[in-house]
Chains A and B, each alone.
Chain A
């Protein structure tokens, strides 16, 4: 199958710091691809490259058959949950509407057509009941469902997700990641899922790109999430424990453990 995302000899530096170099990667339609790594390892920059918001120093990145470009309709983007002010003049359906035609010039003319599409998308993510509620009054989990609907508005071939589960409770983490996985399997969209916590999506992930210390490793979770590979990437001993289908990483270097949800997993949570 032809890859939908391709990187060839790609490298990215900020000043003297190398985030990653000589990255070669193909992501196929219907593949659930996770990007993992500590803070500052270049996970978000990786997404920005695919969004066309960040230039590569060397190499090239292509989407479909063409170089990445800003505003490509092949891409759907789900950002981190970020609360809206309570008086934001926008209801749930308007947020989804931005994904449908918010980028077009002029006023919305085909009102009923746009409304039908918005209703479909709301139905798809189970958000119909709060379609007319101002977004500022919705919970983080409800907002993220709307973000999924918004991102799916253009029937994207690639779904880019930037820590979409951050600050959600377990129930909503499962619901939102299941929605994303559904799009991946039923519509054959490639999913690029940036996260620092693999466990909520461990059942869905096909392959992992692990970024750390200016280096990376690509492979299935079984290949990458091992004591040997992560110890090598971090340059110090890191213990990876597989327990009950979950992965616990212990002993990450201090500088990278901040905000690292993998570490504080307790015995109770693993069991």
Chain B
């Protein structure tokens, strides 16, 4: 069976490879040669073998396996008629967007900004830079929900100017530098010329890398007035942090939007998410959503000391117990859990909703996101985070009745979290008279 159908198989194999590439699989050209060699070797008698061989040769991502199988079935099916290419077209629907036609939107301009018709004479891509300082001040403190399209555009520019720096984490890798570890190798090398006398000691220190940020944003009905600005906010985070963020949206279900952020216009991403979420403006089930996050994504996104930002008003229609449990779990698996609540900007706000009450014990920082000033404060806050984990009260699980002692951990350098801008809400830990600036 070795070489009988050579030309025929060769042609089909190359066609198949091209099909896979069209479907978005990363098919390695050189690998096609291997495939040909291999099929000569193993023969074509057993369809299962051919499939297994091509699969292991041509696919290298788990997510591509189902697509490959489908393509294989369609392409290499028993020939009843010879019009197999027709069916392939329907599969094109599943093609993933690997190379988007449009680049990332530049932060300053926006093709279509809003549902409202634009002013007839002025385009939105020009902003009047002669606005007075006081006008900017007004903009800073105006609630996002009250923005006009022009203000939104200007706000986006201001946002783009924000500096985001969620701090560094120490990795376990070492690099030459001032540190405590002796770099024996370099020491010996550099001192060999002194005849074995160790004159100068070289040291190593821990290498540091920037932390990653994970944003989980509520886009349910109660958040509607803020959704647009929040998405812009996430987008500016993405740009400002050099792609080191993961972003998710949710109403009742969780949708990952990270890949949309860099490649496409944010507004289009929003409409796509709107399609994916059946009850866009419906109720919120934060507990279920966090559970889904914990199950599916936490392991893959929180591995390296990430900071989690949850953006929600806390109007939750799910079970509070579930929310508590999942919040506890989430907090345990991240470096810092920050909850951004647009309502928290209000002077009289108190976290009284059932959802906020259930979540509160597990939040490291509760901050407002209702206007630009709040975003500036958030940026300041992130930039000033200390490297260590925040001090947390040890929580017992809801399901058990055993008592766990409250850990009076020494608070090394708990930073004051907020430059006094919003004294009405206190951090849950400090609210109980915990030490603020070290024990």
Whether A associates with B in a native complex is no
Contact surface of B with A, Cβ cutoff 8 Å: none
